[in-house]
Amino acid sequence: MNLKIIGIIGIMLASVIAIGCVESTYLDSSGLPQNAVTPTPTPTSIITSTPTPIIPTSTATPLPSQIESSIVLVLDASGSTVGEDITTGFSFIGLIDANALSIVRNIGRKNHVGVVSFGGTIKKTDILSLCSEANRTELEKFIRDTEPRSGGDNPTNIDMGLRAAEELSDSVNGTKEIIVISDGLISPEFFDQSKKAVLDLKNKGVKIHFIQIVLSFLPNETKEPNRVYNELAQVSGGQAIVLNPDERVNIVSESAYESDDSC
């Protein structure tokens, strides 16, 4: 009986091996039976995203164009400027105008310039671009026509001249300078309101220069500005500059005098 059992087990093992060999012939290279149904792969979705265009929700207000430099000349045309030195033949108003003309003629085209005259009444130009030679000519004409009014009261109301210059300066951007050209004979009665005008301009970042004209030729060591006029200059953070008849204003930043053909 034991031999029969062993024989049966042997037959069973042989059958299993035979079946395995048969089934192995039906496997393909993928490891699947050749008669098996190959599953169709589910296609993977390919998302091709198109970028959404960015649409601005608001448009910024364009800033005014920047001006390289703006300069306002404030010219004293009060009654005292009619004074003349009989030995030299120079007058205060003549030298005030000569200095103003020198600036307008020599300053670079990239700058903007305005002119104010004071002396009882206030007169002023617009602040003009020197890219236009017609504008330069207009400024020169205004300066040549500046003179003390005949008759009446022509006070040195420099405070009103500074306020008019402030209006011109406020109308533009960029570096701002004001040049006051005077005989320096400021009455103390105008000091407080003039000081207030200077402080307001200084707080706005406007640089102010005070020029005093003299009719005689003085050595540098004896050049002394009028006390009240110099105190006003000190309020602005500087000192009044005294110019002899043969001297001209040369205090504007050097870049302002550079020519610029980019207009």
CATH number at residue 183: 3.40.50.410
Domain region containing 81: 69-257
* Contact (CB, 8 A) for 206 and 238: no
Would residue 37 count as lying in a domain? no
Outline where the chain has alpha helix (H): 2-24, 92-106, 133-144, 158-170, 191-203, 227-235, 254-257
Would residue 45 count as lying in a domain? no
Would residue 13 count as lying in a domain? no
- The angle formed by the CA atoms of residues 201, 178 and 242, to the nearest 5 degrees, is 115
Domain count across the chain: 1
Outline where 171-226 has alpha helix (H): 191-203
Nearby residues of 8 by Cβ (< 8 Å), 6 or more positions away: none
User: What is residue 62's predicted lDDT score, i.e. its pLDDT?
Assistant: 32
In angstroms, the CA 165 to CA 169 distance is 6
pLDDT in tens, 21-79: 434 343 444 444 444 444 444 443 333 344 433 333 333 333 333 446 899 999 999 99
User: What is residue 253's predicted lDDT score, i.e. its pLDDT?
Assistant: 56
**Residue 16 neighbours by CB distance under 10 Å:** 9
User: What is residue 210's predicted lDDT score, i.e. its pLDDT?
Assistant: 98
Would residue 129 count as lying in a domain? yes
Would residue 57 count as lying in a domain? no
Would residue 174 count as lying in a domain? yes
Q: Along the chain (263 residues), what's the average pLDDT of each consecutive run of 10 residues?
A: 48 44 41 46 39 34 51 96 91 97 93 95 96 97 89 78 96 93 91 97 96 95 96 97 95 59 67
Beta-sheet pairing, 241-243 with 111-119: unpaired
Its pTM surpasses 0.75? no
